[in-house]
Amino acid sequence: MEQTQKQYHVHYSPVKGWSRVDFGELMRYRDLIWLFVKRDFAIMYKQTVLGPAWVLINPVLSAAMYTVMFGVIAGLSTDGVPQTLFYLAGTALWGFFAACINKISATFTTNSAIFSKVYFPRLAMPISTMLSALINFLLQFALFFLMLVFYVVRGEVQPHWALMPLTVLLLVQVGLLGLGCGIIVSSLTTRYRDLMVVVTFGVQLWMYGTPVVYPLSTAEGMSRVLYAAMILNPMTAPMETFRYIFFGSGQVTALMWGISILWTVLLLALGLSLFSKVEKTFVDTV
């Protein structure tokens, strides 16, 4: 019996943009992503006295500091929301976004030893970092929700209970925005290491340009340029929406969300394109 031989021809060519990202491959490596998430927790709380309790202690201390600085001393309005609850909400949501940028931005520099020895989808690392930040947020959110229930019972807050499922979409949007910003910075730091010094300060400055420690209504009395800049800020819509859902207060418009989603798509697309390009040669530059 004659056996027919099949001829195979494999053609290799450079790819560009979104075609560089193999989302199917990422799904096949989902177990590795989860291992990276567990590794991040182990490293973060290794040789600490209180361990994972710091996930809750940090936002509580930050909320207490903001209450004294901005609530008591500066006397900033919280739109009738109890100050401790107001600042705890802003700290938790912004902490999730800031952690995505700060930690993902160091992806190549901190994991160069792993990247140079074994193959796996490099995008798995920043995705695992984003998931670690999300888990931290969920723990902080549990504390926030308990405090929210306390103030609801006292009649000081009236949440929109029917809108709470939208929080899932809100977190997805914030996570993707943080992922996009983080991988852009991580791609650039392979050649320009001094960006690592700037990114922490930049994120802190970004926070004060976002209604985190004050509501957007406070900014209405500012100049039109500053108010317009806050509307163009992609984190303004998620922050105000979060407050609208859980406090019943907040200024949210379709325009704000359109701008936020547009920024998210553009930054994520740019980040994925840069990341895919840099990951091929980063070992030679890091």
The C-alpha atoms of residue 248 and residue 283 are separated, in whole angstroms, by 50
Least confident of 125-134, 165-174, 235-244, 268-277: 268-277
pLDDT at 225: 82
Q: What is the identity of the amino acid at 188?
A: L
pLDDT at 11: 47
235 Cβ contact partners less than 8 Å away, ≥ 6 residues apart: 94, 97, 174, 177, 206, 210, 260
Segments of 128-204 assigned E as strands: none
The C-alpha atoms of residue 228 and residue 264 are separated, in whole angstroms, by 18
pLDDT at 238: 95
The C-alpha atoms of residue 214 and residue 265 are separated, in whole angstroms, by 27
pLDDT band for 229, please (50, 70, 90 cuts): confident
- What are the pLDDT digits (tens) for 75-92? 788 888 888 899 999 999
Domains of the chain, residue spans: 22-281
Least confident of 162-166, 221-225, 246-250, 262-266: 221-225
What is this structure's pTM?
0.85
